[in-house]
Amino acid sequence: MAEKLIKLPDVGEGVAEAELVEWHVNVGDLVREDMVLAAVMTGKATVEIPSPVEGEVTWRHGEVGDVIATGTVILKIRIAGEGSDGEEPEAENGDRGEEPRVKPVVLPVAALEQALEKKVESLKPKAEMAAPSPVAKAPPHAGAPRAEGEKPLAPPAVRLRAKEAGIDLRQVAGTGPAGRISHEDLDAFLNSQGGGGAVAAGLQPNKAVQEVKVVGLRRRIAEKMALSKSRIPHITYVEEIDMTALEELRTRMNGTQKPGRPKLTILPFLMRAMVKALGEQPGINALYDDEAGIVRQYGGVHIGIAAQTPSGLVVPVVKHAEARDIFDCAREVARLSDAAKNGTALREELSGSTITISSLGAMGGIVSTPVINHPEVAIIGVNKLAVRPHWDGTQFVPRKMMNLSSSFDHRVIDGWDAATFVQRLKALMETPALIFVEE
Protein backbone atom coordinates (compact mmCIF):
# COMPACT_ATOMS: atom_id res chain seq x y z
CA MET A 1 0.00 0.00 0.00
CA ALA A 2 1.17 3.52 -0.80
CA GLU A 3 0.42 6.59 1.27
CA LYS A 4 -0.57 10.04 0.00
CA LEU A 5 0.31 13.10 2.10
CA ILE A 6 -2.25 15.92 1.95
CA LYS A 7 -0.78 19.33 2.72
CA LEU A 8 -2.50 22.62 3.48
CA PRO A 9 -2.43 24.28 0.05
CA ASP A 10 -1.47 27.85 -0.77
CA VAL A 11 -4.83 29.64 -0.60
CA GLY A 12 -3.53 32.68 -2.49
CA GLU A 13 -2.78 36.34 -1.85
CA GLY A 14 0.46 35.48 -0.06
CA VAL A 15 -1.37 33.97 2.93
CA ALA A 16 1.10 31.94 4.99
CA GLU A 17 -1.42 30.28 7.31
CA ALA A 18 -5.11 29.48 7.63
CA GLU A 19 -7.51 28.49 10.38
CA LEU A 20 -8.99 24.98 10.32
CA VAL A 21 -12.75 25.50 10.67
CA GLU A 22 -14.21 22.09 9.78
CA TRP A 23 -13.23 18.45 9.30
CA HIS A 24 -15.31 16.44 6.83
CA VAL A 25 -13.51 13.11 7.42
CA ASN A 26 -12.21 11.04 10.34
CA VAL A 27 -9.42 8.48 10.62
CA GLY A 28 -10.67 5.25 9.07
CA ASP A 29 -13.04 6.92 6.59
CA LEU A 30 -12.93 5.90 2.96
CA VAL A 31 -12.71 8.88 0.61
CA ARG A 32 -13.25 9.37 -3.09
CA GLU A 33 -11.35 11.65 -5.43
CA ASP A 34 -12.58 15.29 -5.22
CA MET A 35 -14.42 14.55 -1.95
CA VAL A 36 -14.10 17.50 0.48
CA LEU A 37 -11.70 16.61 3.30
CA ALA A 38 -11.63 19.83 5.32
CA ALA A 39 -12.39 23.55 5.23
CA VAL A 40 -10.02 26.35 6.20
CA MET A 41 -10.56 30.08 6.55
CA THR A 42 -8.35 33.00 5.66
CA GLY A 43 -9.66 36.50 6.21
CA LYS A 44 -13.39 36.01 5.78
CA ALA A 45 -13.27 33.52 2.93
CA THR A 46 -13.69 29.78 3.50
CA VAL A 47 -11.72 27.40 1.26
CA GLU A 48 -12.52 23.69 0.90
CA ILE A 49 -9.73 21.14 0.47
CA PRO A 50 -10.67 18.27 -1.89
CA SER A 51 -9.07 14.83 -1.97
CA PRO A 52 -6.76 14.25 -4.95
CA VAL A 53 -6.97 10.44 -4.55
CA GLU A 54 -9.22 7.61 -3.49
CA GLY A 55 -8.34 5.67 -0.37
CA GLU A 56 -8.57 5.40 3.43
CA VAL A 57 -7.72 8.17 5.92
CA THR A 58 -5.00 6.84 8.26
CA TRP A 59 -3.88 10.01 10.04
CA ARG A 60 -5.22 13.50 10.71
CA HIS A 61 -3.47 16.59 12.07
CA GLY A 62 -5.05 19.55 13.86
CA GLU A 63 -8.30 20.37 15.62
CA VAL A 64 -10.99 22.85 14.63
CA GLY A 65 -9.78 26.33 15.56
CA ASP A 66 -6.07 25.57 15.03
CA VAL A 67 -4.09 27.96 12.82
CA ILE A 68 -1.93 25.89 10.45
CA ALA A 69 0.95 27.02 8.24
CA THR A 70 0.73 26.57 4.48
CA GLY A 71 2.48 23.36 3.37
CA THR A 72 1.87 21.49 6.63
CA VAL A 73 0.75 17.87 6.25
CA ILE A 74 -2.80 17.62 7.60
CA LEU A 75 -3.89 14.17 6.34
CA LYS A 76 -2.48 10.84 5.24
CA ILE A 77 -4.49 8.67 2.87
CA ARG A 78 -3.62 5.01 2.18
CA ILE A 79 -4.04 4.16 -1.48
CA ALA A 80 -3.55 0.92 -3.41
CA GLY A 81 -0.01 0.77 -4.79
CA GLU A 82 1.35 -1.17 -7.74
CA GLY A 83 1.22 -4.94 -7.19
CA SER A 84 -0.66 -4.59 -3.91
CA ASP A 85 -2.60 -7.60 -2.67
CA GLY A 86 -4.60 -5.54 -0.18
CA GLU A 87 -2.40 -6.39 2.88
CA GLU A 88 -0.28 -3.89 4.76
CA PRO A 89 3.42 -4.72 4.23
CA GLU A 90 5.36 -5.22 7.43
CA ALA A 91 7.41 -2.08 8.14
CA GLU A 92 10.55 -1.86 10.22
CA ASN A 93 10.49 0.23 13.35
CA GLY A 94 11.28 3.86 12.58
CA ASP A 95 10.45 3.70 8.85
CA ARG A 96 7.53 6.10 9.30
CA GLY A 97 7.76 6.89 12.99
CA GLU A 98 4.71 4.69 13.69
CA GLU A 99 4.17 1.65 15.89
CA PRO A 100 4.00 -1.70 14.04
CA ARG A 101 0.46 -2.67 13.15
CA VAL A 102 -1.09 -5.63 14.99
CA LYS A 103 -3.07 -7.91 12.73
CA PRO A 104 -6.58 -8.26 14.16
CA VAL A 105 -7.77 -11.70 15.30
CA VAL A 106 -11.14 -12.67 13.84
CA LEU A 107 -13.30 -14.83 16.16
CA PRO A 108 -16.57 -16.60 15.39
CA VAL A 109 -19.61 -14.79 16.76
CA ALA A 110 -20.36 -17.48 19.40
CA ALA A 111 -16.78 -17.42 20.67
CA LEU A 112 -16.82 -13.64 20.78
CA GLU A 113 -20.01 -13.59 22.88
CA GLN A 114 -18.58 -16.17 25.30
CA ALA A 115 -15.37 -14.17 25.72
CA LEU A 116 -17.36 -11.02 26.34
CA GLU A 117 -19.44 -12.70 29.09
CA LYS A 118 -16.27 -13.88 30.85
CA LYS A 119 -14.80 -10.40 30.64
CA VAL A 120 -17.91 -8.85 32.20
CA GLU A 121 -17.89 -11.41 35.06
CA SER A 122 -14.23 -10.65 35.77
CA LEU A 123 -14.98 -6.94 36.07
CA LYS A 124 -17.63 -7.36 38.79
CA PRO A 125 -16.35 -6.21 42.22
CA LYS A 126 -15.62 -8.98 44.66
CA ALA A 127 -17.76 -7.32 47.30
CA GLU A 128 -20.73 -7.93 45.06
CA MET A 129 -20.29 -11.70 45.39
CA ALA A 130 -20.75 -11.64 49.18
CA ALA A 131 -22.06 -8.24 50.10
CA PRO A 132 -23.20 -7.86 53.70
CA SER A 133 -26.83 -7.12 54.19
CA PRO A 134 -27.36 -3.40 54.20
CA VAL A 135 -27.94 -1.69 57.50
CA ALA A 136 -31.10 0.27 57.42
CA LYS A 137 -30.41 3.93 57.97
CA ALA A 138 -32.66 5.68 60.36
CA PRO A 139 -35.10 7.85 58.51
CA PRO A 140 -34.70 11.59 58.95
CA HIS A 141 -36.56 12.76 61.99
CA ALA A 142 -39.42 15.00 61.10
CA GLY A 143 -38.31 17.59 63.62
CA ALA A 144 -40.07 20.91 63.94
CA PRO A 145 -38.40 23.96 62.42
CA ARG A 146 -35.57 25.27 64.53
CA ALA A 147 -36.18 28.12 66.86
CA GLU A 148 -35.52 31.58 65.54
CA GLY A 149 -31.85 32.44 65.94
CA GLU A 150 -30.79 28.79 66.21
CA LYS A 151 -28.06 28.15 63.65
CA PRO A 152 -28.34 24.81 61.79
CA LEU A 153 -25.27 22.59 61.72
CA ALA A 154 -24.05 21.77 58.21
CA PRO A 155 -20.72 21.52 56.35
CA PRO A 156 -19.80 24.37 53.94
CA ALA A 157 -20.58 22.30 50.82
CA VAL A 158 -24.13 21.64 52.05
CA ARG A 159 -24.59 25.31 52.88
CA LEU A 160 -23.49 26.27 49.37
CA ARG A 161 -25.93 23.83 47.77
CA ALA A 162 -28.74 25.12 49.93
CA LYS A 163 -27.91 28.72 49.06
CA GLU A 164 -27.89 27.98 45.32
CA ALA A 165 -31.24 26.19 45.62
CA GLY A 166 -32.77 28.97 47.72
CA ILE A 167 -33.36 26.72 50.73
CA ASP A 168 -33.46 27.87 54.35
CA LEU A 169 -31.46 25.23 56.22
CA ARG A 170 -33.48 25.89 59.37
CA GLN A 171 -36.33 24.06 57.63
CA VAL A 172 -34.22 20.94 56.90
CA ALA A 173 -34.11 18.10 59.42
CA GLY A 174 -30.60 16.78 60.07
CA THR A 175 -29.88 13.12 60.84
CA GLY A 176 -26.29 13.56 61.97
CA PRO A 177 -24.95 14.14 65.47
CA ALA A 178 -26.66 17.09 67.13
CA GLY A 179 -28.93 17.41 64.09
CA ARG A 180 -26.07 18.00 61.63
CA ILE A 181 -27.41 18.27 58.06
CA SER A 182 -25.78 16.10 55.41
CA HIS A 183 -26.08 16.02 51.62
CA GLU A 184 -28.50 13.10 52.00
CA ASP A 185 -30.72 15.19 54.28
CA LEU A 186 -30.73 17.99 51.74
CA ASP A 187 -31.56 15.56 48.91
CA ALA A 188 -34.43 14.13 50.95
CA PHE A 189 -35.76 17.63 51.57
CA LEU A 190 -35.55 18.52 47.87
CA ASN A 191 -37.32 15.32 46.84
CA SER A 192 -40.03 15.56 49.43
CA GLN A 193 -43.42 17.09 48.73
CA GLY A 194 -43.61 18.61 52.20
CA GLY A 195 -40.71 21.01 51.87
CA GLY A 196 -42.65 23.89 53.34
CA GLY A 197 -42.88 25.59 49.96
CA ALA A 198 -39.20 26.59 49.97
CA VAL A 199 -38.69 25.07 46.50
CA ALA A 200 -41.55 24.86 44.00
CA ALA A 201 -42.25 21.40 42.61
CA GLY A 202 -40.35 20.73 39.38
CA LEU A 203 -38.02 23.75 39.76
CA GLN A 204 -34.40 22.80 40.21
CA PRO A 205 -31.18 24.77 39.69
CA ASN A 206 -29.57 24.19 36.31
CA LYS A 207 -25.81 23.94 36.75
CA ALA A 208 -25.02 22.92 33.19
CA VAL A 209 -22.08 24.71 31.55
CA GLN A 210 -21.55 24.44 27.81
CA GLU A 211 -18.20 25.40 26.31
CA VAL A 212 -18.39 26.82 22.79
CA LYS A 213 -15.06 27.21 21.02
CA VAL A 214 -14.70 30.51 19.17
CA VAL A 215 -13.50 29.52 15.71
CA GLY A 216 -13.87 30.46 12.06
CA LEU A 217 -15.81 33.59 11.20
CA ARG A 218 -16.77 34.14 14.85
CA ARG A 219 -13.07 34.35 15.75
CA ARG A 220 -12.41 36.77 12.88
CA ILE A 221 -15.25 39.00 14.07
CA ALA A 222 -13.93 38.90 17.64
CA GLU A 223 -10.42 39.85 16.51
CA LYS A 224 -11.75 42.64 14.29
CA MET A 225 -13.92 44.12 17.03
CA ALA A 226 -11.13 43.92 19.61
CA LEU A 227 -8.73 45.64 17.22
CA SER A 228 -11.23 48.40 16.47
CA LYS A 229 -12.16 49.13 20.08
CA SER A 230 -8.57 48.96 21.34
CA ARG A 231 -7.14 51.30 18.68
CA ILE A 232 -9.98 53.67 17.80
CA PRO A 233 -11.35 56.22 20.27
CA HIS A 234 -15.01 56.33 19.19
CA ILE A 235 -17.30 59.33 19.28
CA THR A 236 -20.98 58.50 18.62
CA TYR A 237 -23.42 61.14 17.42
CA VAL A 238 -27.17 60.43 17.37
CA GLU A 239 -29.75 62.46 15.44
CA GLU A 240 -33.43 61.83 14.66
CA ILE A 241 -34.62 62.06 11.07
CA ASP A 242 -38.16 62.81 9.93
CA MET A 243 -38.61 60.10 7.31
CA THR A 244 -42.24 60.90 6.42
CA ALA A 245 -41.53 62.56 3.06
CA LEU A 246 -38.94 59.96 2.07
CA GLU A 247 -41.30 57.10 2.95
CA GLU A 248 -44.06 58.65 0.83
CA LEU A 249 -41.64 58.99 -2.10
CA ARG A 250 -40.32 55.46 -1.67
CA THR A 251 -43.84 53.98 -1.59
CA ARG A 252 -44.79 55.92 -4.73
CA MET A 253 -41.63 54.83 -6.59
CA ASN A 254 -42.15 51.18 -5.65
CA GLY A 255 -45.78 51.37 -6.82
CA THR A 256 -44.88 52.76 -10.23
CA GLN A 257 -41.58 51.04 -10.89
CA LYS A 258 -40.87 49.52 -14.28
CA PRO A 259 -40.50 45.75 -14.76
CA GLY A 260 -37.04 44.52 -13.81
CA ARG A 261 -36.35 47.29 -11.35
CA PRO A 262 -35.59 46.24 -7.76
CA LYS A 263 -37.74 47.15 -4.79
CA LEU A 264 -36.44 50.20 -2.97
CA THR A 265 -35.68 50.11 0.76
CA ILE A 266 -34.33 52.95 2.87
CA LEU A 267 -30.68 51.90 2.25
CA PRO A 268 -30.36 53.09 -1.39
CA PHE A 269 -31.66 56.55 -0.40
CA LEU A 270 -29.18 56.69 2.49
CA MET A 271 -26.34 55.56 0.22
CA ARG A 272 -27.05 58.30 -2.32
CA ALA A 273 -27.32 60.86 0.50
CA MET A 274 -23.95 59.67 1.84
CA VAL A 275 -22.35 60.10 -1.59
CA LYS A 276 -23.47 63.74 -1.66
CA ALA A 277 -22.43 64.45 1.94
CA LEU A 278 -19.04 62.75 1.51
CA GLY A 279 -18.36 64.85 -1.57
CA GLU A 280 -18.44 67.85 0.76
CA GLN A 281 -16.40 66.13 3.52
CA PRO A 282 -13.96 63.71 1.85
CA GLY A 283 -12.05 63.28 5.10
CA ILE A 284 -14.81 60.98 6.35
CA ASN A 285 -14.56 58.70 3.29
CA ALA A 286 -11.13 57.54 4.34
CA LEU A 287 -8.91 54.88 5.88
CA TYR A 288 -6.49 55.71 8.68
CA ASP A 289 -3.15 53.91 8.69
CA ASP A 290 -2.30 54.70 12.30
CA GLU A 291 1.06 52.92 12.18
CA ALA A 292 2.25 55.05 9.25
CA GLY A 293 0.36 58.13 10.46
CA ILE A 294 -1.43 58.56 7.11
CA VAL A 295 -5.09 59.20 6.33
CA ARG A 296 -5.98 58.05 2.82
CA GLN A 297 -9.01 59.90 1.44
CA TYR A 298 -10.80 58.16 -1.42
CA GLY A 299 -12.65 59.69 -4.33
CA GLY A 300 -14.61 56.49 -4.89
CA VAL A 301 -17.29 55.76 -2.29
CA HIS A 302 -17.17 52.06 -1.44
CA ILE A 303 -19.94 51.39 1.07
CA GLY A 304 -19.83 48.29 3.25
CA ILE A 305 -23.24 46.92 4.24
CA ALA A 306 -23.03 44.98 7.50
CA ALA A 307 -25.13 41.83 6.98
CA GLN A 308 -26.07 39.12 9.46
CA THR A 309 -25.58 35.58 8.16
CA PRO A 310 -25.99 32.13 9.78
CA SER A 311 -22.21 32.09 10.34
CA GLY A 312 -21.96 35.61 11.76
CA LEU A 313 -21.58 39.22 10.68
CA VAL A 314 -20.01 39.92 7.28
CA VAL A 315 -19.63 43.18 5.36
CA PRO A 316 -20.17 42.92 1.58
CA VAL A 317 -19.12 46.08 -0.24
CA VAL A 318 -20.97 48.12 -2.86
CA LYS A 319 -18.09 49.49 -4.93
CA HIS A 320 -18.28 52.98 -6.48
CA ALA A 321 -21.65 54.00 -5.10
CA GLU A 322 -20.96 57.47 -6.55
CA ALA A 323 -21.36 55.98 -10.04
CA ARG A 324 -24.66 54.18 -9.32
CA ASP A 325 -28.19 55.55 -9.39
CA ILE A 326 -30.65 54.68 -6.65
CA PHE A 327 -31.98 51.58 -8.46
CA ASP A 328 -28.49 50.27 -9.19
CA CYS A 329 -27.60 50.72 -5.50
CA ALA A 330 -30.71 48.73 -4.52
CA ARG A 331 -29.90 45.99 -7.03
CA GLU A 332 -26.30 45.63 -5.83
CA VAL A 333 -27.27 45.61 -2.14
CA ALA A 334 -29.78 42.80 -2.77
CA ARG A 335 -27.27 40.77 -4.80
CA LEU A 336 -24.48 41.08 -2.26
CA SER A 337 -26.76 40.37 0.71
CA ASP A 338 -27.99 37.14 -0.92
CA ALA A 339 -24.42 36.09 -1.73
CA ALA A 340 -23.29 36.76 1.83
CA LYS A 341 -26.16 34.80 3.38
CA ASN A 342 -25.71 31.72 1.16
CA GLY A 343 -21.91 31.80 1.43
CA THR A 344 -21.14 32.50 -2.24
CA ALA A 345 -19.72 36.03 -1.82
CA LEU A 346 -16.24 36.39 -3.32
CA ARG A 347 -13.29 37.61 -1.32
CA GLU A 348 -13.10 40.87 -3.26
CA GLU A 349 -16.79 41.47 -2.54
CA LEU A 350 -16.10 41.32 1.21
CA SER A 351 -13.25 43.82 1.29
CA GLY A 352 -12.30 47.30 0.10
CA SER A 353 -14.91 49.42 1.92
CA THR A 354 -14.18 53.06 2.78
CA ILE A 355 -17.24 53.62 5.01
CA THR A 356 -19.87 51.24 6.43
CA ILE A 357 -23.62 51.19 7.10
CA SER A 358 -24.85 49.10 10.04
CA SER A 359 -28.58 48.37 10.07
CA LEU A 360 -30.62 45.98 12.19
CA GLY A 361 -33.87 46.78 10.39
CA ALA A 362 -36.95 46.42 12.58
CA MET A 363 -34.67 45.27 15.45
CA GLY A 364 -32.66 48.48 15.24
CA GLY A 365 -33.85 49.92 18.54
CA ILE A 366 -33.87 53.62 19.37
CA VAL A 367 -30.12 54.16 19.72
CA SER A 368 -27.03 52.06 19.02
CA THR A 369 -23.28 52.57 19.32
CA PRO A 370 -21.87 50.95 16.16
CA VAL A 371 -18.22 49.87 16.14
CA ILE A 372 -16.10 51.31 13.33
CA ASN A 373 -14.86 48.83 10.74
CA HIS A 374 -11.09 49.28 11.17
CA PRO A 375 -9.24 50.99 9.43
CA GLU A 376 -12.22 53.12 8.32
CA VAL A 377 -12.95 56.33 10.23
CA ALA A 378 -16.78 56.33 10.25
CA ILE A 379 -19.83 54.06 10.40
CA ILE A 380 -23.51 55.00 10.01
CA GLY A 381 -25.97 53.10 12.21
CA VAL A 382 -29.60 52.88 11.10
CA ASN A 383 -32.16 52.49 13.87
CA LYS A 384 -35.77 51.37 13.50
CA LEU A 385 -38.41 53.58 11.91
CA ALA A 386 -41.49 54.29 14.03
CA VAL A 387 -44.43 56.71 14.11
CA ARG A 388 -43.85 59.21 16.92
CA PRO A 389 -45.46 62.51 17.93
CA HIS A 390 -43.54 65.45 16.50
CA TRP A 391 -43.97 69.12 17.40
CA ASP A 392 -44.44 71.18 14.23
CA GLY A 393 -44.43 74.53 16.01
CA THR A 394 -48.11 74.68 16.86
CA GLN A 395 -49.15 71.12 17.66
CA PHE A 396 -48.02 67.52 17.91
CA VAL A 397 -48.50 65.56 14.69
CA PRO A 398 -47.73 61.89 13.91
CA ARG A 399 -44.54 61.56 11.84
CA LYS A 400 -42.40 58.62 10.74
CA MET A 401 -39.18 59.12 12.66
CA MET A 402 -35.86 57.26 12.58
CA ASN A 403 -32.60 57.81 14.43
CA LEU A 404 -29.13 57.65 12.90
CA SER A 405 -26.43 56.55 15.35
CA SER A 406 -23.07 57.29 13.77
CA SER A 407 -19.59 56.63 15.16
CA PHE A 408 -16.38 58.41 14.13
CA ASP A 409 -12.66 57.96 14.77
CA HIS A 410 -12.03 60.88 17.13
CA ARG A 411 -8.31 60.84 16.35
CA VAL A 412 -8.91 62.24 12.86
CA ILE A 413 -12.58 63.38 12.92
CA ASP A 414 -13.52 66.26 15.19
CA GLY A 415 -16.93 66.36 16.84
CA TRP A 416 -17.93 69.43 14.82
CA ASP A 417 -17.12 67.70 11.52
CA ALA A 418 -19.02 64.58 12.61
CA ALA A 419 -22.09 66.67 13.50
CA THR A 420 -21.88 68.63 10.23
CA PHE A 421 -21.84 65.39 8.24
CA VAL A 422 -24.84 63.91 10.06
CA GLN A 423 -26.80 67.15 9.78
CA ARG A 424 -26.19 67.13 6.03
CA LEU A 425 -27.56 63.58 5.86
CA LYS A 426 -30.58 64.72 7.86
CA ALA A 427 -31.30 67.60 5.46
CA LEU A 428 -31.04 65.36 2.40
CA MET A 429 -33.26 62.61 3.78
CA GLU A 430 -35.91 64.94 5.17
CA THR A 431 -36.11 66.61 1.74
CA PRO A 432 -35.49 63.58 -0.49
CA ALA A 433 -35.84 65.53 -3.75
CA LEU A 434 -32.40 67.01 -2.96
CA ILE A 435 -30.90 63.53 -3.26
CA PHE A 436 -31.76 63.52 -6.97
CA VAL A 437 -30.53 67.03 -7.72
CA GLU A 438 -27.34 66.92 -9.76
CA GLU A 439 -24.91 69.67 -8.85
63-67, 371-375, 433-437: which range is least confident on average? Answer: 63-67
DSSP per-residue codes, 334-403: HHHHHHHHTT---GGGGS--SEEEEE-GGG--S---PPP-TTBSEEEEEEEEEEEEEE-SSSEEEEEEEE
Q: Give the per-residue pLDDT at 149.
A: 61
Active site residue 29: no
Residue 311 CA to residue 228 CA, distance in Å, equals 21
Mean pLDDT of 390-417: 95
- Given a cut of 70, whether residue 117 has pLDDT beyond it is no
- Given a cut of 90, whether residue 134 has pLDDT beyond it is no
Catalytic one among 61, 234, 390, 410? 410
Does residue 34 or residue 90 have the better pLDDT? Answer: 34
Please report, rounded to a whole number, the percentage of residues in the chain having pLDDT higher than 90.
48
Active site residue 414: yes
User: What one-letter code names the amino acid at 257?
Assistant: Q
9-23, 144-158, 196-210, 385-399: which range is least confident on average? Answer: 196-210
- Given a cut of 60, whether residue 102 has pLDDT beyond it is no
To the nearest 5 percent, what fractions of the chain are helix, strand and coil? Answer: 30, 25, 45
